[in-house]
Chains A and B, each alone.
Chain A
């Protein structure tokens, strides 16, 4: 049996039982971060903080929300917004965070793509990151159902219909998902369960996996340099902090991270107090009505690019293109055939590929918001074909790439 001695302090008492010094050393003071990184590497922490904001505001919303088709709309728009003290604050934090979290996720993803942080041992970081993206998408969609407004209802209708698989005509599957012929009580209840329990649980587990996946390869750096972390850590510990290429996660790196988080939070709360309206679709302030479609149905901005890939084609082709767009990012580490893990700017054709993809997704996003008519239809179609084309040529252009 382990031997315990009389504790000299509370710290010592806990340390004997939980090994808190070891935990702290492994997780913080001897977790090494390269020096050669910039503010874009703070996005992961910004995401973690934003998830925290979603969780806390969500808990307060949960105290008054009613998952019932008769009551849901009023419980949000009347009870929470007007009666509950500061209820509006939780709702605006939740709405703004749900939207901003995707902006940060996209920045975080494109940072990873730019610096090649998805290969050379970092594949699992990328894959767990994509799983987080999928989980956040499902979380955002299920949350969007809850106020039971017109956009909730019709987005629920359109998105669940995707599961009919076009000509496969799998209506049984759609009805199974909904628990009814149309979105109704069973539908609202199960999406409520998904939103407040199952998906958040999955997200927590995935965040653990994502962080765990970072542990062995460590984070990348601005030059894609392969760092000997043990040697550099030894230098740091021997007192040569200036000469070492790494710093400790806590306190060195954390203090910089928190600086970025601080700036972010000022911007975030500016949005919450003065510009929350961008995250609240006016159409969703009409209660759900199964006999009236809104003039335009469009998803929130962060789904527009993939929605626009669905739209210009006939049902079956559109569905295939859409499914392609949903999963193709997972394959990035395997489609990029070049051994170079350096910034895109030093990678020949990949540099153009990177910027083309980014611009194409912005164009798709803009077109997804506009009505599908005339010139917009054409631009949307070209952008959708470009997106697919870019992914098809990726293995070829990266194969040709010279060793950097």
Chain B
């Protein structure tokens, strides 16, 4: 009797030590899978907004991801003004309006293609559609194209920094934090 309770105690003591060790090593394993600090401290991309042409899609790069820049034509701005949900998505720099968004489908991350005649984006992977402001018009994508954190700096746009215009978009639910 005495013996078996001593073994029971030893078993429990071992269990406790092993348990602590297991949790600690799981934590170490989890941390080893984390993105490296050098990856995390990903840079900022500065775009000079004066060079873009109307209704011509340009793809820039930020944190390895494609960024769509689409300068809106007067027509598009007119159309967008009729629909506040669309207008909210555009960034105004000087007198011009731009769509600046992640070029990754919000469904599963393919790159949609832009059709300048129809002024819409088609995602070939599962057939999602977006309009010229990146608002979704046909499922499966659950929401419009995400807008990266940005700060307006004169005629320049800094991606990766959260300016007041971006924070407003977040609050209004225009975009999720990308």
Contact = CB atoms under 8 A, between A and B. Distances in A.
Contact of A314 (B36, B59, B65, B139): B139
A9 to B, nearest CB: 46
B140 interface: yes
Residue in B64, B110, B126 whose Cβ sees the most chain A Cβ within 10 Å? B126
Contacts of A184: 39, 64
Give the interface SS of chain B, mostly helix, strand, loop or mixed: loop
Contacts of B66: 290-291
A377 B140 contact: no
Interface string B100-118: 0001001111110000000
B61 A318 contact: no
Contacts, number: 83
Contacts of B139: 314
Contacts of A293: 110-111, 124-125
B172 interface: no
A391 interface: no
A182 B64 contact: yes
Contacts of A290: 61, 64-66
Contacts of B35: 175-176, 178-181, 186
A249 interface: no
Interface string A316-342: 101000000000000000000000000
A297 B59 CA distance: 20
B176 interface: yes
Contacts of B124: 293, 295-297, 371
Nearest to B111: A293
B144 interface: no
B8 interface: no
Contact of B39 (A157, A180, A297): A180
Interface in B1-48: 33-36, 39, 42
A179 B34 contact: yes
A353 to B, nearest CB: 29
Interface stretch (A112-120, A160-168, A217-225, A394-402): A160-168
A24 interface: no
B142 A179 contact: no
A184 B63 CA distance: 11
A373 interface: yes
A346 to B, nearest CB: 42
Contact of A311 (B36, B106, B140): B140
B141 A315 contact: yes
A313 B126 CA distance: 10
Given A169-B176, A296-B125, A181 B63 contact: yes
B127 interface: yes
A148 interface: no
A311 B126 contact: yes
Nearest to A374: B127
Contact of A318 (B33, B42, B140): B140
A154 interface: yes
Contacts of B33: 176-177, 179, 190
A180 B125 contact: no
A44 interface: no
Contacts of B111: 291-293
Nearest to B64: A182
B109 to A, nearest CB: 5
Residue in A186, A295, A315 whose Cβ sees the most chain B Cβ within 10 Å? A315
A182 B65 contact: yes
Nearest to A174: B109
Contacts of A162: 108
A87 interface: no
Given A292-B111, A311-B140, A181 B65 contact: yes
A158 interface: yes
A179 B36 contact: yes
B142 A176 contact: no
A58 interface: no
Nearest to A311: B126
A184 B34 CA distance: 13
Nearest to A316: B142
A200 interface: no
A313 B39 contact: no
A372 B127 contact: yes
B36 A186 contact: yes
Contacts of B127: 371-373, 377
Contacts of A161: 108-109
Interface of B: 33-36, 39, 42, 59, 61, 63-66, 103, 106-111, 124-127, 139-142, 176
6 contacts: A158-B108, A297-B124, A315-B107, A315-B140, A316-B142, A373-B127
Given A291-B61, A296-B124, 15 more contacts: A157-B108, A157-B110, A158-B125, A161-B109, A176-B34, A178-B35, A179-B34, A181-B65, A293-B125, A296-B125, A311-B126, A311-B140, A315-B106, A315-B141, A371-B127
Nearest 9 CB-CB pairs, A to B?
A: A293-B111, A182-B64, A158-B108, A372-B127, A293-B110, A161-B109, A315-B142, A181-B63, A161-B108
